[in-house]
Amino acid sequence: LPVPPLEKAYDRATARLVALPAPTRDVVRQPDAYALIARRLSRRSYTEASLSQDQLSFLLWATQGVHMVDARRTFSRRTVPSAGARHPYETYVRVARVEGIAPGLYRYLPFTHELLFLDDRPSLREELFVLTDREAWAADAPAFLLWSCVPYRGEWRYYTMSHKSMLLDAGHIAQNLYLAAEALGCGACTLGGYWQEGADRFCGVDGEDE
């Protein structure tokens, strides 16, 4: 069967792209690994402050940043582990308060470290509030990350065994987010209780192939 593409296709000629600053350790406020692991908590209370582009860049790099791609573009190695280096996840970001980035819905492009603009409809906040079961802390966070899964990327190599591995991959991503946020001195909380169909519509995915 054909090798699945490493990321969803998009038309670069017409895309609205936001180039992110290169990830840098300069934004890290807590470099000690022991302290990061010891202090990690689910934090649901946030200030009204905006994230900087450097902070968002670091969070996205920490959860899906690319280290290498093989010459045939059949696999990539990233900042998180993935069974067979399949990396089946796509990252969507609802930006509410990030300095220099217009509010809206974006998709992270890990191979070029850019944001692809998708939508800025006025209802994004209310949609997010509803699909997270009315969690105001989630709907009002400066940045809310959503991960979708493209099952074929894993199934291409591991068939039905891939489904277990892809669930484990989600845990690796979430833990890196926690530790990266803690390193920045920011709060983060993962949320697994949500309205699936609403989340699919929010991101514009079909709910089957993604």
134: alpha, beta or left? (left if phi > 0; alpha if psi -120 to 50)? left
Residues in CB range of 120: below 8 A, 6 or more apart? 102, 103, 104, 105
How many Å separate Cα 202 from the centre of its chain?
15
Could you give the percent of the chain with pLDDT greater than 70?
A: 100
**Which tens digits make up the pLDDT trace of 112-171?**
999 999 999 999 999 999 999 999 999 999 999 999 999 999 999 999 999 999 999 999
Q: For the chain, what percent of residues have pLDDT higher than 90?
A: 99
Report field, pTM of the whole predicted structure over 0.85: yes
For the stretch 31-45, pLDDT in tens is 899 999 999 999 999
Check residue 183 and give its pLDDT.
96
Q: Please tell me the distance from the alpha carbon of residue 174 to that of residue 182, in angstroms, as a whole number.
A: 12
3-state secondary structure of 143: strand
CA-based nearest residue to 140, from 96, 187, 75: 96
How high is the pLDDT of residue 66?
Answer: 98
- For all residues of the chain together, what is the average pLDDT? 96
CA gap 132, 121 in Å, rounded: 18
Contact in structure between 30 and 36 (CB atoms under 8 Å): yes
Q: Which pLDDT score, from 0 to 100, does residue 179 have?
A: 97
pLDDT-based confidence at residue 62 (cuts at 50, 70, 90): very high
Q: How far apart are CA 154 and CA 75, in angstroms?
A: 11
Q: Using one digit for the tens of pLDDT, what is the confidence trace for 82-119? A: 999 999 999 999 999 999 999 999 999 999 999 999 99
Let me know if 56 is exposed, middle or buried by CB neighbors in 10 A (0-12, 13-18, 19+). buried
Environment class of 67 (CB within 10 Å of its CB; exposed 0-12, middle 13-18, buried 19+)? exposed
